[in-house]
Amino acid sequence: MPLSDGQTRQLVHTRTVTCRAYARNDGLWDIEGHMTDIKTKAIDNEDRGGVIAAGEPVHEMWLRISIDVDLLIHDAEACTDYAPFNICADITPAYKKLIGLKIGAGWNKEIKARLGNQYGCTHHTELLGPMATTAYQALYSELKKKEEASGSKPAIMNTCHSLAEHSSVAKRLWPDFATTESKS
């Protein structure tokens, strides 16, 4: 374990998030997110027959967005396999509201406007953050080719400490766009 040793403790809950990216034959890309929540002890639950057994998912949810190389969403599909309430899956069609949205500046604000609070499912909506990062990772080579062809500043610049425009990494990778000092 890369973290320091923790205190004596007992595992009570595990959330697992997995994101995968697929290049499609039609030129689009599918970005899929999958999330599970599993408890180590049974919990009372009226909608699931009185109890959710230890080790059985409290939540198991899927989300797929289909995007183009410009990160524009062409389709979206959500699915709920396990949830604590019978009506949870009723909201999955709302994720079609993602169609037409572009991953990039304003992404989180627009997701909140379309699917925040009672207009979506907290867990499906949370998947969209790591799915956006997965999309960037999957399409990085394509995005880089477009930037180089246009001569534009790399979109990834200033997205983290290492890629700050004044960092040694930026000076090495993008000398034409690097600066000498921080603007903070």
Tell me the HSE value of 38 on the side-chain side, using a 13 A CA sphere: 11
In which band, very low, low, confident or very high, does the pLDDT at 182 lie, cut at 50, 70 and 90? low
Minimal CA–CA distance to 102: which of 155, 26, 168? 155
Tokens linked to 15: 């959330």
DSSP element (H, E) containing 122: helix 122-150
The chain-wide mean pLDDT, for the chain, equals: 94
| pLDDT 10s digits, 99-124 | 999 999 899 999 999 999 999 999 99
Per-residue pLDDT, averaged over 51-62, amounts to: 98
Question: How far is Cα 81 from Cα 36, in angstroms, rounded to an integer?
Answer: 10
**Dihedral-angle region of residue 55 (phi above 0 means left; psi in -120 to 50 means alpha; beta otherwise):** left
Question: How far is Cα 169 from Cα 113, in angstroms, rounded to an integer?
Answer: 36
Beta strands in 46-155 (DSSP E): 50-52, 57-67, 73-82
* Beta carbons within 8 Å of 45's beta carbon, 6+ residues apart: 51, 52, 84
Return the pLDDT at 22. Answer: 98
